[in-house]
Structure 1
């Protein structure tokens, strides 16, 4: 029971380090209880503890999905009762945590050998974790939400390493530091000062790198995040005309700015309606660049964001990694029974990531949801 509580504690600490929770500092300690729990345990027991850790983490981190599945979806689409949404939330956690069953099993197989050599252990554990974090993100069920690197979103200096090895490099570093602290805590001569020294080095480097990041040479860019605050239960029933009127009202005093709307601000393909001309006129008359989200329904269906710069430009981004079950049905021959979870429609994945380029603005990209 004690081992299970340690695994659950790891999951809680990891979740509390995510954006919007407590503090990213917790990520440097969050895996230590899990590693302690897996000490001298059989591979299957280690697999279960690792699974329990990640299930706890993902369930807390994505707590907001629970009311979406049990209240919003049943109210809006009426395809299933609320209790079914609760079951689906439970299954979602299981699917996301399954790869870490493998992490725990392999850790249990090799841990006795690598523990004899702390240097080998220091690189074996993060490498093994990295492997299963990568596997979690590939395939039709691939999902990268809740990645350990999310906890570093405020650490501008450290995050620059993502330009070298992506977020997986950040994951490797986080697990390496956790493993280092775990090894140090096993030593008879362990002193808490060692941990503070390591953290001091990490955050000093973060501050120094952040301090020396290049600043814009001149000028400024005004960016406005526009949130219509339309409740989910009426979002799918509000007409395109009402949303356009709301957009016009919210932007009537804006000039010379980049306006960014949420994902699927419009629930219809506005490239085929009069809304397109109205937005182009607003953009031209007020010197506004508008990034607007809406689905497109042509030969292929995309969850897309498009740039309006006086006219609808050819710069757009169609979501590449679609949300399993909600935006795409993974492996239909297995999961066809879950097609009732479909939201607006099943989309096709975008073909590439887009770097938007606007005069007098730095190049930038956008993400749709995850």
Structure 2
């Protein structure tokens, strides 16, 4: 039982993640780990419990990656056998556990021989050491914010309203406080405290949700068309680019909706088409449509011999007005980190290894400004925040989620858009080739989504927002404060 509690805790927490089981589990799922960690008798025991908890958490959260790596990608690309994908999944999960070891490090500071342990110090240590781990997940070449405790609350609209002030770490701290109270309260009173605490939280969530204003369209609303292309990956990644064009040609040629902007997904084509006949046909379609377009495909700088995963922004004349190059690339699939160490895993490369972009310029649409980011980037609050600071009045993300057959993966990805919207009080639109394509308002409410794995289009009205939230302005201060408090509560 000594080592079973962290595993049970990790599994229950993973099951609370979007698309898995019940978000309700998050209010007590971390408690067994916190309790077990506090009862550890030494350094190695604490280290092992961190490993067991974080590994079971990430495995349960990301189980949908197993068929992607062992079946879907190998069958389409035919570059590696499925068993290698399966083995690589377990190595990937281990890499994703690394930020959690800061809890162990801080625990060595806290559980020193001279320490006088009490309820208050245990609660503060447990809360802020774990919060520091989630902060670390945003940094480095292996950065990935999936499996954050706050993810479980993406549909708790009332509670989400603290995010514009604190970021998602405010939700994580709330969750950890509840779990810590449950963990360290005497056993005879534990259930009573849990019922009261969780009951009050859900009452607050309901009350705030009901008090939020209804969706109101401001005078400067932008009308946007989205196109979920639903092109199969085996067609997209074939050698013949025309196959991809044929899949979407009817919509592109018949797109006559009176909107300001048409948004297509990431990687509509997997090659740079700018010198092709297809590109000329698309330019003519843009002119006929009389609207600006966004379309994703890789671009190549032949002079510098660099490849980019790009979002191309066209004006009404079919001219390229701006190219945004993805800044946060997917490790192993789009970029090979620490090549001297991980060169053997280069078989995961999907098309090319890309160079990360460095520009966070916003795009202009009539008198308004917006931004576009690509797929994996929605996992990182700093990217949306930089765009808003540069003037973005609504946020757009384009994605290629065709590798994921399971809806859980799609939900977990789309849920990140909820947090990017509420953090910055900006309407957020995601357009994916297979889904989820949808629109989220500035309060984090999912307004509309298209059916997944269908060829579909829709028009959205997008309100324009100009004010910056406290989090948008001072997120860096909040991050530093969390790290300072995590050290402080480990020492005092």
The two structures share one fold, judged by TM-score above 0.5: yes
Quote how far apart the aligned CAs of 1:186 are: 4.9
Superposed CA offset, 1:95-123 (max 9, x none): 11133244245336625888834333333
Partners of 1:130 and 1:163 lie apart in 2 by 17
Superposition TM-score, scaled by structure 1 size: 0.85
Partners of 1:221 and 1:24 lie apart in 2 by 34
Match of 1:304 in 2: 310
Inter-CA distance 168–16: structure 2 relative to 1 (3 Å threshold): same
Quote how far apart the aligned CAs of 1:202 are: 4.3
Inter-CA distance 115–97: structure 2 relative to 1 (3 Å threshold): farther
Paired residues for 1:160-239 under 5 Å: 160-184=161-185, 186=187, 188=189, 191=192, 192-200=194-202, 202-204=204-206, 206-207=208-209, 211-212=212-213, 215-218=216-219, 221-237=222-238, 239=240
Superposed CA offset, 1:164-222 (max 9, x none): 4433444333323322343446574761442234323541464167x148733247555
Partners of 1:301 and 1:115 lie apart in 2 by 56
CA RMSD of aligned residues (A): 3.1
Superposed CA offset, 1:320-370 (max 9, x none): 211111111111121122222211111111214454442487745434234
Partners of 1:17 and 1:331 lie apart in 2 by 33
Inter-CA distance 68–216: structure 2 relative to 1 (3 Å threshold): same
Paired residues for 1:3-14 under 5 Å: 3-14=2-13
Structure 1 window deviating more from structure 2 (115-124 vs 263-272): it is 115-124
Superposed CA offset, 1:276-305 (max 9, x none): 333333233224443211111113322121
SS at match of 1:242: helix
Match of 1:278 in 2: 281
Paired residues for 1:30-45 under 5 Å: 30-41=29-40, 42-45=42-45
Paired residues for 1:261-340 under 5 Å: 261-298=264-301, 299=304, 300-310=306-316, 311-340=318-347
Question: Are the equivalent residues in 2 in contact too, given 1:301–1:348 (CA < 8 A)?
Answer: yes
Partners of 1:349 and 1:213 lie apart in 2 by 40
Question: Are the equivalent residues in 1 in contact too, given 2:162–2:170 (CA < 8 A)?
Answer: yes
SS at match of 2:97: helix
Structure 1 window deviating more from structure 2 (285-294 vs 192-201): it is 192-201
Match of 1:94 in 2: 94
Structure 1 window deviating more from structure 2 (121-130 vs 309-318): it is 309-318
Quote how far apart the aligned CAs of 1:225 are: 4.0
Partners of 1:85 and 1:157 lie apart in 2 by 40
Partners of 2:56 and 2:14 lie apart in 1 by 8
Question: Are the equivalent residues in 1 in contact too, given 2:137–2:145 (CA < 8 A)?
Answer: yes
Superposed CA offset, 1:13-51 (max 9, x none): 222222222343332322112113324113322322222
Superposition TM-score, scaled by structure 2 size: 0.66
Partners of 1:202 and 1:66 lie apart in 2 by 38
Match of 1:65 in 2: 65
SS at match of 1:292: strand
Question: Are the equivalent residues in 1 in contact too, given 2:328–2:376 (CA < 8 A)?
Answer: no
Match of 1:21 in 2: 20
Asked if 1:84 corresponds to 2:75, the answer is: no
Quote how far apart the aligned CAs of 1:60 are: 2.6
Partners of 1:55 and 1:76 lie apart in 2 by 29
SS at match of 1:272: coil
Partners of 1:69 and 1:362 lie apart in 2 by 38
Q: Which has the higher contact order (CA 8 A, sep 6+)?
A: 2
Structure 1 window deviating more from structure 2 (352-361 vs 315-324): it is 352-361
Match of 2:427 in 1: none
Inter-CA distance 280–123: structure 2 relative to 1 (3 Å threshold): farther
Asked if 1:369 corresponds to 2:368, the answer is: no
Partners of 1:225 and 1:171 lie apart in 2 by 33
Inter-CA distance 282–186: structure 2 relative to 1 (3 Å threshold): farther
Quote how far apart the aligned CAs of 1:132 are: 2.2
Partners of 2:267 and 2:200 lie apart in 1 by 44
Superposed CA offset, 1:118-175 (max 9, x none): 3333332222112222333322222223322322322344445444443344433332
SS at match of 1:226: strand
